[in-house]
């Protein structure tokens, strides 16, 4: 009887998990395996699966030999250099400000988080109007103080800067709220002990707040890093990768090669190269966390 009950329990578990496993297989595992196969072919989405022409590693070699691919990778690196330090420092600043016990603080926290839950499509369309070189509100405000603003999204020197600024504006609420939660999780006992030792505000920041906040900082940096490599929505809507490829990204190139130029094999290879880059960077971050992340015991 005991064996029968265990068997029935296992069967019940299988029955309940089967729908989820079937969906995972159909919409995750099968597409992933198919994309690996496609990346070794020159399939253009027009021919049948039975007529796949395998070309070996040619698509992967082309990823690192194609000028547009290299430009898109370089743009992502430039984006990271401008975005990561800014979002981290500003997120810390906002978190500290939102941690103050002032009247209406909950309203301020909600206001900061509103852009996070707003669709990238809506945000991009609004900012495309604000950054319009001829009739945009930003250039109008700059003209009121005697500054002749650039044609932001049509200037190859300013377009990526504009993309970085808009992305920071939208993501700052997410980073701030996560860091705010980390700040509020730090026990007051540490600060009381630091006060008894005569520590200054600067010492408490670097010897108490930053170490105790390091796990949250690590999470924020890792998530922001992964999301940065997948930069796409705002680029497609605001600049479409232009001008002259100045804002082109690897995901934007994958989209265009797959669905506009019918180079599905090449697009699949680009996506797997991107996956390997993200995986490598994440593993490096996991290794580095042992050197600077402090977990409370």
pLDDT, one tens digit per residue, over 86-113 is 999 999 999 988 888 788 888 988 899 9
Q: Do 154 and 242 have their domain in common?
A: yes
Judge whether 164 and 79 are in contact, CB under 8 Å. Answer: yes
Q: Do 210 and 282 have their domain in common?
A: yes
Q: Do 6 and 58 have their domain in common?
A: no
**Residue 94 is assigned to a structural domain of this protein:** yes
**Residue 101 is assigned to a structural domain of this protein:** yes
Judge whether 109 and 156 are in contact, CB under 8 Å. Answer: no
Residue 232 in tokens? 């796409």
**Residue 80 is assigned to a structural domain of this protein:** yes
Judge whether 43 and 265 are in contact, CB under 8 Å. Answer: yes
CB neighbour list of residue 96: distance below 8 Å, 6 or more residues apart: 183
Distance CA 53, CA 31 (A): 19
Note the pLDDT of residue 294: 75
Note the pLDDT of residue 238: 94
Judge whether 39 and 24 are in contact, CB under 8 Å. Answer: no
Distance separating the N- and C-terminal Cα atoms of the chain = 45
Judge whether 178 and 112 are in contact, CB under 8 Å. Answer: no
Judge whether 209 and 99 are in contact, CB under 8 Å. Answer: no
Q: Which domain holds residue 11?
A: 1-30
Residue 250 in tokens? 């690897």
Residue 179 in tokens? 């860091």
Number of domains in the chain: 2
Q: Do 25 and 146 have their domain in common?
A: no
**Residue 20 is assigned to a structural domain of this protein:** yes
Q: Do 153 and 223 have their domain in common?
A: yes
Q: Do 165 and 281 have their domain in common?
A: yes
Could you read off the pLDDT of 27-41 as tens digits, one per residue?
888 889 888 999 999
Is residue 207 classed exposed, middle or buried when 0-12, 13-18 and 19+ CB atoms within 10 A define those classes?
middle
Q: Do 46 and 13 have their domain in common?
A: no
Q: Do 161 and 280 have their domain in common?
A: yes
Give me the CATH number covering residue 259.
1.10.3720.10
**Residue 70 is assigned to a structural domain of this protein:** yes
Q: Do 106 and 78 have their domain in common?
A: yes
Q: Do 86 and 214 have their domain in common?
A: yes
Note the pLDDT of residue 101: 78
**Residue-by-residue pLDDT tens, the chain, 297 positions:** 555 666 677 788 788 888 888 888 888 888 898 889 999 998 887 766 666 788 889 999 988 888 888 999 999 999 999 999 999 999 999 998 888 878 888 898 889 999 999 999 999 999 999 999 888 899 999 889 988 889 999 998 999 999 999 999 999 999 999 999 998 888 888 888 888 888 888 888 888 888 888 889 999 999 999 999 999 999 999 999 989 899 999 999 999 999 888 889 999 999 999 999 999 999 998 888 888 777 765
**Residue 270 is assigned to a structural domain of this protein:** yes
Distance CA 21, CA 165 (A): 41
**Residue 100 is assigned to a structural domain of this protein:** yes
Q: Do 115 and 208 have their domain in common?
A: yes
**Residue 297 is assigned to a structural domain of this protein:** no
pTM over 0.85: yes
Q: Do 158 and 100 have their domain in common?
A: yes
3-class DSSP assignment, residue 132: coil
């Amino acid at each position: 009887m005991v064996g029968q009950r265990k068997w029935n329990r296992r069967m019940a578990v299988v029955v309940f998990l089967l729908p989820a496993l079937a969906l995972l297989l159909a919409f995750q595992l099968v597409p992933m395996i198919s994309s690996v196969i496609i990346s070794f072919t020159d399939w253009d989405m027009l021919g049948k699966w039975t007529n796949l022409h395998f070309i070996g590693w040619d698509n992967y070699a082309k990823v690192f030999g194609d000028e547009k691919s290299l430009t898109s990778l370089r743009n992502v690196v430039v984006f990271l250099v401008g975005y990561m330090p800014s979002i981290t420092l500003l997120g810390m600043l906002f978190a500290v400000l939102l941690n103050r016990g002032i009247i209406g603080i909950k309203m301020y926290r909600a206001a900061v988080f509103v852009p996070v839950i707003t669709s990238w499509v809506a945000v991009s369309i609004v900012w495309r109007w604000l950054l319009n070189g001829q009739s945009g509100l930003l250039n109008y405000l700059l003209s009121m103080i005697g500054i002749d603003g650039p044609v932001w999204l049509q200037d190859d020197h300013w377009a990526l800067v504009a993309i970085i600024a808009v992305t920071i504006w939208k993501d700052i609420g997410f980073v701030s709220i996560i860091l705010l939660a980390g700040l509020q999780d730090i026990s007051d006992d540490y600060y009381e002990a630091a006060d008894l030792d005569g520590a200054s505000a600067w010492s408490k920041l670097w010897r108490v707040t930053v170490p105790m906040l390091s796990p949250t900082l690590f999470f924020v940096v890792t998530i922001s890093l992964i999301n940065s490599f997948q930069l796409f929505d705002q680029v497609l809507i605001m600049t479409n990768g232009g001008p002259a490829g100045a804002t082109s990204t690897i995901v934007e190139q994958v989209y265009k090669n797959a669905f506009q130029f019918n180079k599905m094999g090449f697009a699949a290879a680009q996506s797997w190269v991107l996956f390997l880059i993200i995986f490598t960077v994440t593993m490096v971050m996991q290794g580095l966390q042992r050197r600077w992340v402090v977990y409370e015991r």
